[in-house]
Structures are given as structure tokens and as C-alpha cells.
């Protein structure tokens, strides 16, 4: 069973991530929000610290690159006895692993700055994709590399199954052609995980992901986007023109499987959506803490033992937002815990991402309103957090797509049956 307390072995990691948010990210947050597309050099030291923690084992799997799905024969983690009497002798393996630790650490760093968290070298969403579906040889080969992820295309929007970028086998290589937009860390990363189809006529079953070196001459940077929020993170658009990729850089099974062939690629989302939910939770927590402090100075405090209707509007609003945060937090822990324990979590990952993303937007905007002039001005970070929040309800699958995934799972319907 899931234990909702932060596991003891992860507490040092959480404290270190919290210190990073408050001592490193917060002080430079406004600087890189204004200096869009300028690489935050301070992150080189942060990256070195994370690498050192991971190498020593102290990091307990911090960062997106560590999120991976547990296997039945994976005996790492904590053991919990289930049941009583003679059943207690049959202990069931319960793991608190890299997915949960990644969620907890990312939540803390995003209390400092989401854009800076996304800009930490070798902790990109492409790294999470590699961790989710790559084989052991590939994981070893890509170890230590910074990977971005390229899924979205101009004409496909949120429908990952409608990808038009093609991959044609040519000897020991695949030739990729197409266009990708909104690639987070696309300019800075060393690798780009590109989603492409082996056969358009077969639909989503033929979609595979390929690891493309950033210096590949067929991968051409078109532009960097100017954005509403997360400006510290570069967002790139690419053209793939006869981009030749070694066959060994196709992630997962190269065979096209008519039944369930899209599952390998989509498993990426089962790991990354809880991470994005954690980003939203971090920003939500930061907004709530800052607003609570501002209101307290104005004489508004929450009485946790009284019903909301008996308190001021501002206090009642804080109560409601705290409840929404807790719901999103628990959904996110559940999705990560399920991944650590090898349980199918596609619906739960979408639930976590949908709830956390929408809560993040609603809370950050409400906090700007409650804080008045302080919330709207640039002298504080509340207005920046409100701008940053919207992307967390969009990327890795929009709010609407998450609700569609959840509905399909609940109703037992396929994507062709419920569109």
C-alpha cells in the first residue's frame, strides 16, 4: 500500500532541493525571466551537484533522467508486510523509487522557478523518455547526455497519434523528414528524442521515437520562441530534412505491432506526466505560501478549525485552494508510486497532470488577485508565477487531452471509439 508520508530516505533530497529553490533559483528568477534565451550559467554548478549526488547515491534518483518504470524482478526499494498472521510472512514488495523521488525533488525546485528547473542540464523531458523506454545498452550509451523531446507538430496539436514526421528505413539508418515545434531545451540539449511514424497508413501503431544528435546536419533549428512564461527555458522549432539516424537509435521495439504498438511510445507520458504535475505543484505551493504571508501581514489569517463560510472571503479562498493543492498532490504521489511499483498508471498519470495543471493556473491567478497591487507588480514573483503557470496546463498533453484519456480508461473505450 502507498504511504503518504515522505519516505525517510528521500528527506535529505527534499531538503537539498528546497535549499536549491530558495538559495539559487529564487534570487536569479527575475534575471532570466527578463533575459529570455540567455543560458543561466549558474545551473552548471547545480547540474554538477545533482550529478555528484546521483553518483554517490545520495540523490536517490533526483531529476527527470532518473524516472523509470519498475519491473517485476526489480527488488530495489522498501519492503512492507501486508496483512496479518500467516499472511504477514508473505511480504509484498513495495517500492518508493526514482519516480517518487523525482516528483518530490522537482516539486521543491519548482517552488523556486519552473523555467530554471527545465533548464538544468541532463534533466530534460527527453531524458525521462529515454529512461522510460530505452534498453539497457541505449541507457548506457546516452548516459550523461542532455536530451530534449520533440513531439508536437504545427498541424497535429495535441493528437500525438496524428504525427506526420516520417522515418524511412535505409540500410542501417532511418531517414527522418518533418517539422517539430515547442521543443523544450531544444537549442541547449545534446540529444533530441523525435517522434516519427514508420508508416502513415497504419496510424499511431507505427509511431516510434528516435534519439537524434543535436549536431546532426539534418536537424535544423528554425527559431526560438518568445513566450508568455518559463522564459529561462529555451523553446525551439526544428525542420528535419533527410535527417539520417542510426537504426540503433530507435528507442524500444523497431517492429510495427498493430495491437498496442503505440504503447511503448506512450509509456513515456506515464512517467513524464507526474513530473509535470510535480512542476505545477511546486509553483502552486510557492504562490500559496507567498500569498498567505502577504495576507497575514494585512491581518488576514486562516482558522483551520472553522468552516469557510464563517471566515473572510480571502481566508475562505485560501482554504479552498489548499484543498485543491492537497488533492493534486495526492494524485501525483499515487501516479509516481504506481510507476515505481510496475503498475499501469496511464489514467492516474493523466488524473494527476489534469488536476495539478488546472489547480496551478487557478491558484496562481487567484493569488495575484488576493495580493492586489503586490501581486500584479514585478517587485514580487507572483505575477511571474501566474505567467509561468499556463504552460503546465498545456504541455505533455493539454487539460482536454488528459480528460479524454481519463474518460477512455473509465469507460473502457479506445481512441477510435471516443474522440
- Residues forming the active site: 396
C-alpha torsion 246→250→254→260, nearest 10? -160
Alpha-carbon gap, residue 34 to 28, rounded angstroms:
10
The radius of gyration of the chain's CA atoms, rounded to the nearest angstrom, is 22
Alpha-carbon gap, residue 311 to 84, rounded angstroms:
46
Torsion over CA: 134, 120, 328, 161 (sign)? negative
Helix (H, G, I), strand (E, B) or coil at 42: helix
Q: Do the bridges between strand 147-150 and strand 191-197 make them parallel or antiparallel, or are there none, so unpaired?
A: parallel
- The alpha carbon of 261 is separated from its chain's Cα centroid by a whole number of angstroms, namely 23
Alpha-carbon gap, residue 104 to 96, rounded angstroms:
11
Phi, psi dihedral angles at 371 (to 5 degrees): -85, -5
Helix (H, G, I), strand (E, B) or coil at 5: coil
Beta bridge partners of 238: 180, 221
- Exposure of 355 in the CB half-sphere (CA atoms within 13 A): 23
Helix (H, G, I), strand (E, B) or coil at 396: coil
Q: Do the bridges between strand 219-224 and strand 166-170 make them parallel or antiparallel, or are there none, so unpaired?
A: unpaired
- Which contacts (CB < 8 Å, 24+ apart) does range 44-53 have? 44/121, 46/20, 46/120, 47/120, 47/121, 47/122, 47/123, 49/20, 50/120, 50/122, 50/123, 51/122, 53/13, 53/16
What's the N-to-C CA distance of the chain in angstroms?
34
Amino acid at each position: 500500500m502507498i504511504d503518504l508520508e515522505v519516505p525517510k530516505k528521500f528527506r535529505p533530497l527534499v531538503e537539498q532541493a528546497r535549499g536549491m529553490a530558495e538559495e539559487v533559483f529564487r534570487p536569479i528568477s527575475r534575471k532570466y525571466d527578463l533575459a529570455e534565451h540567455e543560458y543561466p550559467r549558474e545551473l552548471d554548478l547545480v547540474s554538477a551537484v545533482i550529478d555528484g549526488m546521483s553518483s554517490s547515491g545520495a540523490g536517490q534518483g533526483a531529476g527527470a533522467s532518473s524516472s523509470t518504470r519498475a519491473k517485476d524482478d526489480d527488488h530495489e526499494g522498501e519492503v512492507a508486510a501486508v496483512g496479518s498472521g500467516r499472511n504477514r510472512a508473505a511480504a509484498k514488495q513495495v517500492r518508493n523509487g526514482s519516480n517518487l523521488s523525482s516528483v518530490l525533488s522537482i516539486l521543491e525546485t519548482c517552488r523556486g522557478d519552473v523555467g530554471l528547473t527545465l533548464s538544468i542540464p541532463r534533466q530534460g523531458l527527453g531524458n525521462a523518455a529515454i529512461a522510460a523506454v530505452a534498453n539497457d545498452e541505449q541507457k548506457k550509451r546516452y548516459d550523461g547526455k542532455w536530451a530534449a523531446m520533440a513531439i508536437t507538430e504545427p498541424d497535429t496539436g495535441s493528437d500525438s497519434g496524428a504525427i506526420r514526421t516520417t522515418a524511412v528505413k535505409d540500410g542501417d539508418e532511418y531517414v527522418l523528414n518533418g517539422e517539430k515545434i515547442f521543443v523544450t531545451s531544444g537549442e541547449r540539449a545534446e540529444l533530441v528524442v523525435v517522434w516519427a511514424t514508420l508508416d502513415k497508413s497504419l496510424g499511431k501503431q507505427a509511431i516510434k521515437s528516435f534519439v537524434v544528435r543535436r549536431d546532426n546536419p539534418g536537424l535544423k533549428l528554425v527559431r526560438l520562441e518568445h513566450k508568455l512564461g518559463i522564459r529561462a527555458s529555451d523553446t525551439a522549432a526544428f525542420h528535419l530534412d533527410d535527417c539520417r539516424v542510426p537504426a540503433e537509435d530507435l528507442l524500444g521495439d523497431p517492429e510495427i505491432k498493430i495491437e498496442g504498438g503505440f504503447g511503448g511510445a506512450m509509456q513515456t507520458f506515464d512517467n513524464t506526466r507526474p513530473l509535470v504535475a510535480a512542476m505545477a505543484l511546486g509553483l502552486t505551493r510557492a504562490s500559496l505560501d507567498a500569498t498567505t504571508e502577504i495576507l497575514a501581514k494585512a491581518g488576514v489569517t486562516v482558522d483551520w478549525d472553522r468552516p469557510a463560510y464563517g471566515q473572510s472571503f480571502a481566508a475562505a479562498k485560501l482554504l479552498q485552494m489548499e484543498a485543491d493543492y492537497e488533492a493534486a498532490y495526492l494524485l501525483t504521489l499515487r501516479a509516481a508510486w504506481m510507476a515505481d511499483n510496475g503498475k499501469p498508471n496511464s489514467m492516474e498519470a493523466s488524473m494527476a497532470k489534469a488536476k495539478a495543471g488546472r489547480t496551478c493556473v487557478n491558484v496562481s491567478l487567484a493569488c495575484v488577485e488576493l495580493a492586489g497591487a503586490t501581486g500584479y507588480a514585478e517587485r514580487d514573483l507572483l505575477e511571474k508565477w501566474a505567467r509561468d503557470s499556463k504552460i503546465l496546463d498545456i504541455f505533455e498533453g493539454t487539460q482536454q487531452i488528459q480528460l479524454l484519456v481519463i474518460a477512455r480508461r473509465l469507460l473502457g473505450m479506445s481512441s477510435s471509439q471516443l474522440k
